[in-house]
Structure 1
Amino acid sequence: MNPPSPERQKTENALIAAVQLVSGPRVADNLAAAAHGVAEAAAQGARIVALPEYFPIMGMAEGDKVKVREVDGHGPIQEFLAATAKQHGIWLIGGSIPLEAKDAAKVMNSTVVYDPAGQRVARYDKIHLFGFQKGLERYDEAASIEAGSEPVAFDTPYGRIGLSICYDLRFPELYRRLAPVDLIVVPAAFTETTGRAHWEILLRARAIENQCYVLAVGQGGKHENGRETHGNSMIVDPWGTIVDRKLKGPGVVLGLLDHGCIAETRANLPALKHRVL
């Protein structure tokens, strides 16, 4: 994980945005939908924009993402993200995309981040792989995804940003490794079953315990493959208050990353300074 830059000045507030989607099995269609959502967010003044997990593809079968996986640094999905960031002059957090893994039958589920010049500045590979079974509903990400191992945070003029993906949200020790950060980003494709029960609670907890903003961006609705994702994309402030949210369907969530709010919260309740373990 990159250490905080000593030259960084956390003085600039910024509008941040989550672009909620309901992706399908066709990459070109999903990129078009993402382009529309990012353009809408940028037009409203967002400087940091995040897309959901699996934004380029929610396939009809688990192997579909393997078929469209890209070599790190090359491919139409990564070229789209770089060009879109440059076009709008924004920091673009590319949800997650399938990249090549050591195992030819699997992918890395990776967040890639681009600066306003279209240069890639960070990559995070999802560490925790989702497994769930309840009745006929069953998921086993380890069957098609290779786990990452390294936490990732990076600096921007608007503060330090920590990366995570979906199921990572259930593991607070990851965020303790990232702390202190100003913003945690959580692209996700939470199931409706688990999301209805736990999504909001976990997001607010991560914001409260790390005294930072959380930008959570989900897939949100019924997909062509029959899966239903929870959506409920939201921005949570350091006190745990939900600033904005989108329950279902495509749309944009927008809010201010306010360093005054972060500073006040940490001054009033200096929990990060009180850490012992």
Structure 2
Amino acid sequence: MIEILNSKDAERAQVTGALVGKILQTLRERAAVGTNLLEIDAWAKEMILGAGAVSCYVDYAPSFGRGPFGHYICTAVNDAVLHGLPHDYVLADGDLLTLDLAITKDGISADAAISFVVGVSKDQESEKLIDATKRALAAGIEAARPGNKVGDISYAIGAVLRDAGYPINTEFGGHGIGSTMHQDPHISNTGRPNRGYKLVPGLMLALEPWVMTDTAKLVTDPDGWTLRSATGCRTAHTEHTVLITEGDAQIMTLPPVD
């Protein structure tokens, strides 16, 4: 299903997106050395339910997972990159943490992810990974204009990731989003320009570049959900929900400005 939002839908999407951005910003501020991943999940639950929203993950049970997911946020650490199932793990100085959050409020969903290093210890590899996903996302958003096609977004994202020297996995990528979290079209993190669905105003997309340092292969944890790099290398993932407009794409999941 491909859904085109009307003006009232878009207004509701702004509210949902801002809530996603605010929750992720708050969780980033709270996540510190000594924080347990289960605490992050509990904080996410409190903020989601307190805002009158619904988690897209608790009852999420796709064919590739061992569902239902049963938690309110994805928490991936170091070599984990996607669908990180919160578990009893205490964050250490220098851990690379990815938080991926999708919620629905008033019938409209929004989805975003951030990667950052916990504590004071930083390393060049982690910062390079995170920066590459941010730049790839910016390139994808720039290509998300009416008249362009999905392949133009994929090509823009892939060009940045390739230039940064990273292998690109095409099993998981971006997607349409609206009244439900996952919709068509699928947006691979690499592709050919001028191919695929033509972008039109009102189409909302979740764009999510993610990379692994030295492999494109994923392995699944025994929990049936958490996806890790096959080599144990570090990973990063950055995502925003954007709305196609008559001009530049509108980023829906930015945190509110004080």
Confirm or deny a common fold (TM above 0.5): no
The structure with higher relative contact order (CA 8 Å, sep 6+) is: 2
Larger strand fraction of residues: 1
Q: Give TM class, smaller chain.
A: 0.3 to 0.5
Q: Normalising by structure 1, report the TM-score.
A: 0.31
Q: Normalising by structure 2, report the TM-score.
A: 0.33
